Amino acid sequence: MNVFSSLARVARGRPAWALLLFFALAFQVVALYFQHTMNLLPCVMCIYERVAMFGIAGAALIGLFAPNNAFFRWGGIICWGVAAVWGVKLAHQHIEYQFPDPNVLFGPTCELFVSFPSWAPLNEWLPSVFQSYGDCSMVVWEFLGYSMPQWLLVIFVMMLAAQVCVLVSELKVLITTLRGEPTATDLNR
């Protein structure tokens, strides 16, 4: 049995999806701790990064609902990938706001207010979580010399790498199944 077969088997169980949900929610708790206890005001990009992390939590809930069902498992994997890629993009953009190119006279700037669709105004529904008050370009917190968006980039890249590993394992099992060959997940039943 190889690593991919093991990953595919793990993705068909609830503990893996529960672990993903735990990490996504733990990062949300940390963000709220920074906001409400340490009084670090979240900026527009912080809020969007928070939404991306909620996207990963939502993906985990989809997979957790019925991990043995291919529809829910694949739905969770795809949503996980989309949210993680979006998080990587947002964190990278946020880093550019904090550390602009010194050779550019007018660097990138972030919006003043969050912009959610009219059918989901999260900042109006739950302003204590989704309202922005800070400046995207300010570095207000560092750990080991890295700012919060830099750490978020690391976190989102790690979540994306985990998603890619699970996706590859699922694709490998799918291809093996389509060929009519037994898979390691079939042999272990």
9 is catalytic: no
Count CB atoms within 10 A of the CB of residue 46: 26
75-127 pLDDT tens trace: 999 999 999 999 999 999 999 888 877 777 676 777 778 888 889 888 889 88
Question: Tokens 């049995």 sit at which residue?
Answer: 1
Any domain includes 160: no
Q: Are strands 142-143 and 146-147 parallel, antiparallel or unpaired?
A: antiparallel
47-83 pLDDT tens trace: 999 999 999 999 999 999 988 888 999 999 999 999 9
Q: Which of 9, 12, 43, 73 is catalytic?
A: 43
Q: Which of 9, 73, 79, 136 is catalytic?
A: 136
Find the CATH number of the domain harbouring 131: 1.20.1550.10
Residue 158 parent element (H or E): helix 148-178
Q: Which of 12, 46, 73, 79 is catalytic?
A: 46
Any domain includes 20: yes
Any domain includes 153: no
Tell me, what DSSP letter sits at residue 97? H
Spatial contact of 153 and 92, defined as CB atoms under 8 Å apart:
yes
12 is catalytic: no
Any domain includes 85: yes
79 is catalytic: no
135-158 pLDDT tens trace: 888 788 889 989 999 999 999 999
165 is catalytic: no
Q: What is the pLDDT of residue 187?
A: 46
Q: Work out how many domains the chain is built from and give that number.
A: 1
Rounded to an integer, what distance in angstroms lies between the CA atom of residue 17 and that of residue 60?
5
Any domain includes 152: no
In one-letter notation, the amino acid at residue 86 is W
Any domain includes 154: no
8-19 pLDDT tens trace: 777 777 888 999
Q: Which of 9, 50, 73, 79 is catalytic?
A: 50
Domain of 132, in residue numbers: 3-100+107-146+169-187
Any domain includes 164: no
Q: Which of 110, 165, 179, 189 is catalytic?
A: 110
φ and ψ of 143, to 5 deg: -140, 125
